[in-house]
A = this chain, B = another copy of it.
Amino acid sequence: MKAAILGATGYTGMILLRLLSEHPEIDEIIAVSSSRAGKSIKEIDPGVYTAVKNKTKLTGGELLSVAEAAEMQPEVTFAALPHLESAKICAPFFEKSVVIDLSADFRIKDPLIFEKAYGQPPERQDLLNKAVYGLCEIYHDEIKTANLISNPGCYPTATMLPLIPVLKEFGVDGKIVVNALSGVSGAGKKAVFNNLFVERTENCGAYAPAKSHRHQPEIKKELDIALKSAGRNGDVNLFFTPHLVPLKRGMEITTIIDIPEETASRLSDEALDKLYTKYYEDSSFVAWDSGRLPQTRDVWGSNSCRIGWKIEGRSLMLFSVIDNLVKGASGQAVQNMNIRFGFKETAGLRVYGEL
């Protein structure tokens, strides 16, 4: 099978190259870069080139333009492109390829909410309803037949995997407070002062707090859907505050949610263990542990999400970690491809974190 990667030289694109180099079902990788078309992957990363050499025979390892890639008719296209550009650039692929879009362009179906978050209306409103939200463990069935998969962001993935089962099972009383820690690669490969080594090492702090982060609406919308799908009323009142910490890769989420009085009596370590078993028993990538808080290193380089918790009266604290570039981006994209094409769901993906 042929896979195209649009935006192959960014961080998520480069991770996709690595993951697909080991993927047993992908024979040919078409690497695309508008800004560096004509150059070789070898110039970008010689080790990665070695890894994909046998899978880039049609292109000789050369980076193609979008138009050239479209002509090669890949069966699956990964779009690792900036928000607000992706939907436009992907146009030549929607018809003949399964598109897995890692940008935010198809994540919010309501054009008004989209515009509020991103400052302009969605580019392709015609495709919004076709797009399936690719949070693999939650939308597994829908993904199987989707031709446009909107890959979730790293913050939403890490926040929602522990939270959705809780919301459905117990509901919520009052606001949900989420504090997130993110590695610097989450900001993408951008040569701006704020991403410099000297600015970020020995430094950390919060940004875009409470309801001002642009990915807050994506999370809130999905939590509202979860609540409604369980027959519960009301809107989620979400306070989401990200913090930048001096990690290259990694994301940790600390959530506090109050359980309503009517369901609180059921809240226990055993009940949570049972709950996650119900939701994630068949998933290779979600793991939980009542007696141990997860650390980002547990999942560094892997497609896993690890969950821990602490009950304090009616308040429940949830802790989750992912690798923002893998389960938070490229790894989940590959997982989506695996589900969509009926491959083994773990193909090309790791479950353990690097030392």
Which positions in A face B, CB cutoff 8 Å?
11, 14-15, 18, 21-22, 45-48, 50-51, 174-175, 177, 179, 181, 184-185, 189, 191-193, 195-207, 209-212, 239, 241, 243, 245-250, 252, 254, 256, 284, 287, 289, 292-302, 304, 306, 310, 312, 315, 317, 319, 321, 325, 350-355
A294 and B30 CA atoms in complex are apart in Å by 26
Q: Which 9 A-B pairs have the closest CB atoms?
A: A205-B295, A47-B352, A203-B297, A197-B200, A51-B352, A179-B179, A210-B312, A184-B197, A197-B197
Chain B CB within 10 Å, residue with most, of A199, A207, A306: A199
Chain B residues positioned under 8 Å from A312 (CB to CB)? 210-211, 239
A317 and B192 CA atoms in complex are apart in Å by 28
Taking a contact as CB atoms under 8 Å apart, the answer to whether B205 and A355 are in contact is: no
A45 and B47 CA atoms in complex are apart in Å by 28
Give the nearest-CB partner of A181 in chain B: B204
Taking a contact as CB atoms under 8 Å apart, the answer to whether A246 and B247 are in contact is: yes
Taking a contact as CB atoms under 8 Å apart, the answer to whether A245 and B245 are in contact is: yes
A179 and B181 CA atoms in complex are apart in Å by 11
A212 and B175 CA atoms in complex are apart in Å by 22
Taking a contact as CB atoms under 8 Å apart, the answer to whether B287 and A46 are in contact is: yes
Taking a contact as CB atoms under 8 Å apart, the answer to whether B198 and A189 are in contact is: yes
A14 and B198 CA atoms in complex are apart in Å by 13
A13 and B86 CA atoms in complex are apart in Å by 40
Number of copies of chain A assembled together: 4
Residue in B50, B191, B209, B297 whose CB lies within 8 Å of A310: B209
Taking a contact as CB atoms under 8 Å apart, the answer to whether A252 and B204 are in contact is: yes
A195 and B198 CA atoms in complex are apart in Å by 8
Chain B residues positioned under 8 Å from A298 (CB to CB)? 45-47
Shortest CB-to-CB span from A180 to chain B, Å, is 10
Chain B residues positioned under 8 Å from A199 (CB to CB)? 197, 297
Taking a contact as CB atoms under 8 Å apart, the answer to whether A204 and B250 are in contact is: yes
Residue in B197, B293, B350 whose CB lies within 8 Å of A207: B293
Taking a contact as CB atoms under 8 Å apart, the answer to whether A351 and B198 are in contact is: no
Chain B residues positioned under 8 Å from A175 (CB to CB)? 315
Taking a contact as CB atoms under 8 Å apart, the answer to whether A192 and B195 are in contact is: no
Taking a contact as CB atoms under 8 Å apart, the answer to whether A205 and B45 are in contact is: no
Taking a contact as CB atoms under 8 Å apart, the answer to whether B206 and A184 are in contact is: no
Taking a contact as CB atoms under 8 Å apart, the answer to whether A204 and B295 are in contact is: yes
Given A181-B245, A287-B50, A289-B46: A354 touches B354 (CB 8 Å cut-off): yes
Residue in B181, B200, B310 whose CB lies within 8 Å of A243: B181
Chain B residues positioned under 8 Å from A310 (CB to CB)? 209-210, 212
A215 and B241 CA atoms in complex are apart in Å by 24
Taking a contact as CB atoms under 8 Å apart, the answer to whether B47 and A205 are in contact is: no
Residue in B46, B174, B248 whose CB lies within 8 Å of A198: B248
Chain B residues positioned under 8 Å from A14 (CB to CB)? 355
Give the nearest-CB partner of A50 in chain B: B351
Taking a contact as CB atoms under 8 Å apart, the answer to whether A247 and B204 are in contact is: yes
Shortest CB-to-CB span from A137 to chain B, Å, is 15
A181 and B205 CA atoms in complex are apart in Å by 9
